[in-house]
Amino acid sequence: MSINSIRTRSHISHARGASVIGFFAVLGLLLANAASAADTPDILSLGGGGYNFDKHRENRRSLDYRVDYQWGVSLLPLIVDSFNSVEPFLQVHPVIGFEGNSVGALYGNGGLNLDIPFLYHGIFTWGEAVGAFGKGHDLMPMGATIEFRSQLELGWRFDNDLRITGFISHISNAHISSQNPGAEIAGMYVHIPVSITGKK
């Protein structure tokens, strides 16, 4: 491997790291100014399911577990006041989380969840996150330390804001590495309201 190749990879790695740091810095600034804007509870989410559930080889599959924290503040009105009019129909919330599996993989991440309530008690959530991934004893490396997670949830929101949802998510490095096998996870969440800041 040439010195130029090593330098190029080093620059790319630093750029990726700077992008992640920048993302969390912006998220922190939004949260710092958001205390008065909360109108739904913060939510502590506990979940689990099947990691690589779509793989045919049993040694590729494992159990997934996860815990997330979603702030109740809705970010859209903080960006543009006119978004207040759509707030009853959709909300964007910051979220941080930790995920692991039964073969030792660990994934710390942060991102945004788009909540769309429907039919009084229905709730649909689309989430996007980025974080650092360690493969543990998994036989299938993910190809990079920086990994992205896309997730869809569908479930029921009770009157007290407790939610029960099913999820399907995909983790991959978005081809920032030449090796990008990705992982598919399906399971269920219990979302527990832990605050009622801003609720009337």
* Within-domain flag for 91: yes
User: What DSSP letter does each residue of 87-131 carry, written as one string?
Assistant: TTT-EEEEEEEEEEETTS-EEEEEEEEEEEEETTTEEEEEEEEEE
For the residues 134-147, what does the mean pLDDT come to? 80
pLDDT value at 87 more than 90: no
Q: Helix and strand tally (H, E) in the chain?
A: 2, 8
Residue labelled with tokens 């832990």: 194
* Within-domain flag for 26: yes
Instruction: Name the amino acid, one letter, at 147.
Output: E
Beta bridge partners of 118: 122
Averaged pLDDT of the chain = 81
In this prediction, residue 32 has a pLDDT band, given cuts at 50, 70 and 90, of very low
Domain of 72, CATH number, reads 2.40.160.20
Given a contact cutoff of 8 angstroms between Cβ atoms, the answer to whether 106 and 86 are in contact is no
Instruction: Name the amino acid, one letter, at 116.
Output: I
* Within-domain flag for 39: yes
* Within-domain flag for 199: no
127, 132, 134, 135 alpha-carbon torsion, rounded to 10°: 40
Q: By percentage, how much of the chain surpasses pLDDT 90?
A: 51
37-58 pLDDT, tens per residue? 346 899 999 999 999 988 777 6
* Within-domain flag for 198: no
In this prediction, residue 175 has a pLDDT band, given cuts at 50, 70 and 90, of confident
Q: How many CA atoms lie within 13 A of 63 on its CB side?
A: 4
* Within-domain flag for 130: yes
Q: What is the pLDDT, as a whole number, of residue 192?
A: 98
CA distance 187 to 200: 33
Look at the chain and report how many structural domains it folds into: 1
Q: What are phi and psi of 68, to 5 degrees?
A: -125, 155
* Within-domain flag for 200: no
**Looking only at Cα atoms, what is the longest distance across the chain?**
64
- The parent domain of residue 134 ranges over 3-193
54-79 pLDDT, tens per residue? 877 766 789 999 999 999 998 988 87
The reported pTM is 0.75
* Within-domain flag for 153: yes
